Structure 1
């Protein structure tokens, strides 16, 4: 029987789990979870995204994103209208407090990302990124 720990999928999952653990630790100092941070980043880039758009962009379910958004709203980091203007979407926006929290957490997250990037020889980084994109695309067909 083949050693499953030598399979590519196992190695990718191991790297993702290590990254998630490092991000969890870094964000704990800023009283944020990884999905909360990802949500704040997306709202900084594209204000007014809906629950469904944020869920897709942060790789969580809509139900989970509802919980994330409620927590961010209760903490004063985002605002959403009480009712939708049309349809069911409630566009979310960062508050000034949310922007400050994001700015403070961003350097911690970037430091984790840089640590991971530094583990790859510079001459191989572009190929690794292209390979990761191809792996993801293999499942989008």
Structure 2
């Protein structure tokens, strides 16, 4: 292996825990942990909850659209949808007239479960947002969007 020239860090940092990527991951992990704990009381996982939220907003989404919207693979979304369907929280037709996509819809029970879980998730987001001065929240959200866009997301 050849000696390589040292790579300059993207910004001044004493150690890895001061890097933007590390801090984003730490925040995401803290959010995920809090959501996991809260959603367990509603017998839902984070991907299931996210799926229910998307279907409430845009009924009829396909497996692929839901996978993209919840940041899981299509294979994982198949498992999520099967679990939601088995629990009576969503409905999907057995066949479709157009292509292979099976549009999913919330059932009345799915809407009730979502509403109950939403309160818990919104409380977590409120707790997280309260840590940021109100005058900076709009800029923070815009910065996060720009960072994602810079990486093609």
TM-score bracket for the superposition, by shorter chain length: over 0.9
Structure 1 CA distance for aligned equivalents of residues 112 and 19 of structure 2? 42
Q: Which runs of 4+ in 1 moved over 3 A?
A: none
**Structure 1 runs not aligned, ≥5 long:** none
Q: Secondary structure at the match of 1:56?
A: helix
**Is 1:35 matched with 2:47?**
yes
The equivalent of 1:66 in structure 2 is: 78
TM-score with structure 2 setting the length? 0.89
Structure 2 CA distance for aligned equivalents of residues 27 and 44 of structure 1? 17
The equivalent of 1:16 in structure 2 is: 28
Structure 2 CA distance for aligned equivalents of residues 105 and 21 of structure 1? 15
**RMSD between aligned alpha carbons?**
1.3
The equivalent of 2:95 in structure 1 is: 83
Mapping 1:1-141, distance limit 5 Å: 3-140=15-152
Higher helix share: 1
Q: Which has the higher contact order (CA 8 A, sep 6+)?
A: 1
- What is the deviation of 1:83? 1.2
> How many pairs does the alignment contain?
141
Structure 1 CA distance for aligned equivalents of residues 98 and 137 of structure 2? 45
